[in-house]
Structure 1
Amino acid sequence: MKLTQYYTLIVCVITISCSGVQNSTTDESKYQKNASFSLIYKIKPEGYIRKLFLKVKVPYSIKDRQWVKSMAFSTQPDSVVLKNDLNYAYFHFDSVDEAFKLKIDCEITIYQQIKEIDTSQLAAAYTPENLSAEKYIESDCPEIQDLAAGLKQANNVETVMKTYSYVKEKLTYYTDYGPDTVGARRALKKGYGDCSEYCDLFVALLRANHIPAKSIHGYTMEMTTTGKHTWAEVFLPKNGWVMMDPTTSHGHVTNEDNTYTIAQRNKYIIMSQQRHDPAISKNSDYYIHYQKGSWDSKVNIHESYNSYLHS
């Protein structure tokens, strides 16, 4: 069976079977898109603030995924620190008594390329971080374990595709159930969720079958619109980490004679390769702390973002 990987300038189509993936072209430009991406924070104090500390998550370069070519700050940070797949810019402001805006402008090249790997990379994927249960990804709970056993197929590729189809069919996309993340177990029980729940259930089921998988947080772009999103990456022995998006209307998989074709748009900006960051809530990419000038002082912060996906 011949395996190929097809690309257009925007839509990436990856053909996978048990024996791996091959690229159908050597033209590197077919695998990438350039994007202008901005994070905007409007900070409005009520009363006098002695000191304000702000930690903001920012994108970073990741091999075969994205290259952050430049990053410009309207106010220079004290530092930018990349640690444990999280990249933060740290700011502090003294004597804050009026509103101001912080803007971070990035130029990013986004890649969608899968390459064959050698066996030396296997050990780095089969680690507790990619296989164990964690908050929101309850791969060790009995309901998840029993379901995963029923989805297990003859090999990892078929198990991944079977699980992917199950999650897309099982869950209904619904965002109005409340602001809190519910995790894989409750998403399975309730049968609905947003992108976080789709991803949590998908990753939990794969980990329960001892297939390395991880949750990715970032943004998706459609030419001039941007939205926060969560998707997954799955480790396949011949191809390494493969991006898959089980949320309704994003990824699309077809199967013909046990050859699976994954179609995904080249529109994903990665902010984090971790599911849970205790310092950051589900709906924000920042952490703020401040010292009040009086008992009733407080700070309001509005987070927004925009982008342009170059043709």
Structure 2
Amino acid sequence: MTTTKRVAPKGKLGKRTQNGSENVAMLLRPFLVISATSQQPLTAANIITNGQTLRILIIPEEGDEEIEEQLQVVIYNPIDAPVVVGKVPTLKTETIASFNVQIPENWIAGNYRLVLMKKASGEIVKSNFFTMKATTPLGKHLTERILSPHWQINYKVQISNPTDKPVGNFSAFVALPITIPPHQIVKRLTVSPETVRLSSDVEGNHWAHYEVTRIAPGQTLELRYSAVIQRKPFLMAPTLENVKQVANPYAKTFLKPYLASEAHIESTHPRIIELVKNIVTDHPIKFAKRAIQIVNQILRYEIQPEEYGAAYAVETGRGDCTEFAALFVALCRAKGIPARVVAGFGMGQRWERHAMAEILVGGRWLPVDVTGQQGTHPSLGLQTNIITLTRGNWMGGTLAKEISYRYQILEPRQKLAIGVDWKITLKKSRADPLSKENMKSSVRVLSSRSPALVETKVKIVRETLGEERLMQLKTKSTDKPVKMDQNIKISLRATRKKGLFILPTLPDVIKTVALKKKRLIIQNKTDRVQRGCLEIHERDNFGVIRLLSIRGLLLEPESERQVQLGLTSARKGLVTLQFLFINRIGRVLAKEERTISLF
């Protein structure tokens, strides 16, 4: 690794603009190392695979000014976990920095984000992307497991009467897996016996209601369900923090329960009020990220014998995932941000019951996995190792528990024996020697998973690339995009009469900077007021979904509304955008999808 001397005016890197952001013209480029003397730039068409060598070049441009803060290069994998971190030496305009990474066998396929950032503040100076294809058995297995798994749940409730007297009017409610678009889809669900009735509640939870008029002495009954659930990574784009229109369109009567202090979510506790005052921001997403940090800083993770909640957590300084989630929700409610606790299953070393949270922003419930986020950059969203089961406060004697039941007895000593057994496995279409099919549950707490982090040194290059090579690296494409009608509207199908409709007005090819000013039309062709969230996702070819924009809307009957997209995308090339209008329980009322080319 060597230095290349370049004729350039003396100066420092990084011109500072009036708004304080960096305006750096330097190049940050990924290459595939072919041999000791040759390398190939990585593009959408040229990808890298397991076992090959990745080379990152950092080339300052003439006129850039020096950045005084320590810089580092970070590579984020497709689910936004950092997998490589490299310290960058001081850069000058006459030098080129480089580092190599041998792609390990356990890297998954997908789009990797390459970022040059300030170490202390986390401010991004420059970014780029490259795509990786998994070619090793381990890489292929992890790609399926992390990016697009189908989980098979087998759940059984056994009810036995061990007494010598009958038990009457047994009634049980058992939570069923729910579809939460776009990241959790129930592909198949079977429930037995056939007498079970299915119902839903105001939270959008689904229940199996099992009733038996008489359970004889010694009799044993079973309630079973089997489900296949498709999961996709659901991530929040960094630009979501810049969304300004985050007000919720729902009535105060709907919002009131999610802002109130209640048992186990004691948002009026003096210590909780004090913590909230120390978070200096009014933006709900920024507040949530800071609240995640505070919860993980003040609580020590310990498995608890019962579900204690927020006040217990803040008073004792300890708790498991239930207390982590409850304290986070209490902090949000104390700030005036609607929030609720969520229950489900999570996989660390094995599948276990797990507690999470959701906050209501712009009419959209945003999922938050609070437990174990120890870093300086906490995130919202969910990975594919989590399955949501119920939403709402299940702590104490509420009906939102995973299973609740009642029955009538003839004598005080009578008591039914209720047993619950469940197993979650990875459903595969073919045999996989790496798949562990016997993952069983035991405790309700999720052990956090931390990505394996590779630390590497970034050194100054000492090999001469030559003027011609440097020009090739800096040359921009001169291909001009085909001119398109910028105001194309998608016409409604003749069969569409009633309902909600989204009409994006996007050309097939568009500049990234022009995407922000584009508009769409949303029509309410019903006789009812529709309240919900217009959300826009970016979905890549590997199934990873990023939430780009949210906006709460109230649509009057028989009306239409124009909405400016306000989108920014860091990626170029083919991008699939999904436009959804979702109501308060997560039901999709309208959906459109467009694949466009960004340049």
TM-based fold match above 0.5: yes
Structure 2: how far apart are the matches of 1:92 and 1:183? Answer: 32
1:241 to 361, 365, 368: 365
Structure 1, unpaired ranges of 5+: 18-23
Q: CA deviation at 1:68?
A: 1.6
Tell me which amino acid in the other structure corresponds to 1:87: H
Counterparts of 1:87 and 1:11 in 2: how far apart (Å)? 34
Q: Give the 3 Å change call, closer, same or farther, for CA 300–207 of structure 1 in structure 2.
A: same
* Counterpart-to-counterpart distance in 1, 2:287 and 2:297: 15
Instruction: For residue 243 of structure 1, give the secondary structure of its aligned residue in structure 2.
Output: strand
Evaluate the alpha carbon distance shift between residue 165 and residue 297 of structure 1 in structure 2; reply closer, same or farther with a 3 A threshold.
same
- Structure 2 residue aligned with 1:45: 161
In the superposition, relative to structure 1, how do residues 76 and 304 fare at CA in structure 2: closer, same or farther (>3 Å)?
A: same
Does structure 1 residue 102 correspond to structure 2 residue 223?
A: yes
Residue 54 of structure 1: how far off its partner (Å) = 2.0
Aligned residue number for residue 71 of structure 2? none
> CA offset at residue 106 of structure 1?
0.9
TM-score, normalisation: structure 2 = 0.42
Distance 1:12 1:92, change over 3 A: farther
Is contact 1:55-1:287 (8 Å) kept?
A: yes
* Cα 1:212–1:288 shift into 2, 3 Å: closer
The one-letter amino acid paired with 1:103 is: R
CA contact (8 A) 1:39 1:306 kept: yes
**Given residue 268 of structure 1, which amino acid in structure 2 is its aligned partner?**
I
Aligned positions of 1:105-184 closer than 5 A: 105-114=226-235, 119=245, 122-124=248-250, 127-153=255-281, 155-176=283-304, 178-179=305-306, 181-184=307-310
How many residue pairs get aligned? The number is 290
1:31, distance to aligned residue in structure 2 (A): 5.7
Provide the aligned C-alpha RMSD in A.
Answer: 3.9
Equivalent positions of 1:182-261 (< 5 A) are 182-222=308-348, 225-237=350-362, 240-248=364-372, 251=373, 253-255=375-377
Q: Does 1:35 align with 2:151?
A: yes
SS for the counterpart of 1:160 is helix
Amino acid at match of 2:294: Y
Q: Deviations over 1:213-258 (max 9, x none)?
A: 22111111358x4211111123455x9433222213xx46543xxx
Judged with a 3 Å threshold, the aligned counterparts in structure 2 of structure 1 residues 235 and 261 are, in CA distance, closer, same or farther, namely same
CA shift, 1:310, in A, is: 4.0
Q: TM-score, normalised by structure 1?
A: 0.77
The verdict on how the C-alpha distance between 1:80 and 1:213 changes in structure 2, with shifts beyond 3 A counting, is same
| Aligned equivalents of 1:31, 1:44: Cα separation in 2 | 41
SS where residue 161 of structure 2 aligns?
Answer: strand
Q: What SS does the aligned partner of 1:298 have?
A: coil
Aligned with 2:296: secondary structure? Answer: helix
Distance 2:380 2:111 in 1: 8
Q: Which has the higher helix share?
A: 1
Identical residues among aligned pairs (%): 19
Q: Which has the larger radius of gyration?
A: 2
Q: 1:104 to 1:122 in 2, by over 3 A?
A: same
Match for residue 298 of structure 1?
Answer: 415
Question: What's the secondary structure of 2:310's corresponding residue?
Answer: helix
Check whether the contact 2:234–2:383 (CA below 8 A) recurs between aligned residues: no
Give distance in 2, aligned partners of 1:172 and 1:13.
33
**Residue number in structure 1 paired with 2:211:** 92
Kept in 2: contact 1:11–1:265 (CA 8 A): no
Distance 1:233 1:253 in 2: 20
User: Is 1:286 equivalent to 2:403 in the alignment?
Assistant: yes
Cα shift at 1:155: 3.8
**CA displacement, residues 115-161 of structure 1 (integer Å, 9 cap, x when unaligned):** 77995973249822333322211212322111100123364433222
Q: What is the CA-CA distance between 1:58 and the residue it aligns to?
A: 1.4
Partner of 2:491: none
In structure 2, runs of 5+ residues without a counterpart are 1-20, 22-75, 81-107, 116-121, 123-128, 131-143, 429-599
How far does residue 35 in structure 1 lie from its aligned partner after superposition? 0.7
